[in-house]
Amino acid sequence: MTKRQAAFVGGLVGLVVPATVLTLLYFYGVWDIISIGHSDLRTIFWPFSVMLTTGWCCTVPGLLITVAAVAYNCLTYIGIALLLRVCVNLVAHRGHE
């Protein structure tokens, strides 16, 4: 996998998670929908969701904060994807020595 492909996949995953959470929140008003035990998967997979305000979809500052939270999440997932790519390449090259 190339760096560009890894960054694209990371960015795509970084967009899908917030889009799912925001869709559920907008249409159903459900915030804590995905919990396992005492763990809230929303904050695990989208840690920047804690930035959101109550006006996340209807005020200019709320929209800007929401866009920033999604962008930060995308950058985080891109970074994770690129780090995983480096780790996999290191492990693969050690196997050939």
**What are the strands, taking DSSP E only, across 3-97?**
35-36, 39-40
Number of domains in the chain: 1
What is the span of the domain harbouring residue 80? Answer: 3-95
Count Cα atoms within 13 angstroms, Cβ side, for 79: 6
User: What was the pLDDT predicted at 92?
Assistant: 86
pLDDT in tens, 62-71: 999 999 999 9
Greater model confidence, 67 or 97: 67
